[in-house]
Amino acid sequence: MRHHEGGLPDRLVRAGVTVREAEVLWAVAERLRNREIAERLHVSVRTVESHIAALLRKLDAPDRAALAETGARLRRSARAGSALPAPLTSLVGRAEETSELLALLGSHRLVTLIGPGGVGKTRLALHVAESAGAESAGAESAGATALADRFPGGVRMADLAPVEPESVGDTFARALGVVPEPGWPLRDIMREVAAVSGCLLLADNCEHVVAEAAEIVADLLGAGGALRVLA
């Protein structure tokens, strides 16, 4: 399934679904009630009701149950992670490292790759993230499929290479799909999203902003939930 800017699947884009409406759709797919959705997204219940009415119309769903099923199906198709850049070449070797990292991600909330510049940390991390987001068994390992089931929120990437220290928070927020809300601190919204997102977050090129990245990652993991971070 193809995705557009903002991570929306083609079908939602063609139907005119906005990013905010998509967030409501994912919450409906999780069987959340309107008040729970309102609390998660920091909007009013009336706003949620308006978004659901728009989604029913745009997606031609006869009722909320059908809307939830549509959302769940689209989420399953999207969970391979639209934010990952497509590798230009295949990865040769590194099978042992890939298996080890997949196993570590299965048992640890934070896994860090370290090594000298140019050794291939980013390429290996992308390969592991692709394996973790894979929906079918086969090529790499059964562990990849198990991890796909563990990350219903898909795989997200925060590329910190071009980022100055003061912009690290904004980069993580975009990776998590966080939409700023007037009157709500961005870090508070990020924590709430992290607590329920169930995704694998790939934080790449952290070395020049390691203090800022470490602070935010600790904050996100401190929110609890199923979030995992590969740095």
CATH class (in words) of the domain with range 10-78: mainly alpha
Q: What are the start and end residues of each CATH 1.10.10.10 domain in the chain?
A: 10-78
What DSSP element (H or E) covers 230?
strand 228-230
Minimum mean pLDDT range among 115-119, 134-138, 208-212 = 134-138
Q: Please say whether the dihedral angle defined by the alpha carbons of residues 9, 10, 12 and 17, taken in this order, is positive or negative.
A: positive
Residue 68 has pLDDT above 70, yes or no: yes
Tens digits of per-residue pLDDT, 164-222? 999 899 889 888 877 666 678 888 888 888 887 778 899 988 888 999 999 999 999 99
Burial 188-218 (b: 16+ CB within 10 A, else e): ebbbbbbbbbbbbbbbbbbeebeebbbebbe
Tens digits of per-residue pLDDT, 157-172? 888 888 899 989 988 9
Residue 66 has pLDDT above 50, yes or no: yes
Residue 48 burial (10 A CB sphere; 0-12, 13-18, 19+):
buried
Which two tokens mark 123?
């390429």
What's the confidence (pLDDT) of residue 220?
92
Overall average pLDDT of the 127-138 stretch:
59
Q: Rounded to whole angstroms, how far apart are CA atoms 92 and 95?
A: 8
Residue 145 has pLDDT above 70, yes or no: no
Q: Does 41 or 211 have the greater pLDDT score?
A: 211
Residue 92 burial (10 A CB sphere; 0-12, 13-18, 19+):
exposed
Overall average pLDDT of the 116-142 stretch:
66
Percent of the chain residues past pLDDT 70, beyond the cut: 77
Burial 154-181 (b: 16+ CB within 10 A, else e): bbbbbebeebeeeebbebbbbbbbbbee
Which residues have C-beta within 8 Å of that of residue 22, sequence separation ≥ 6? 8, 12
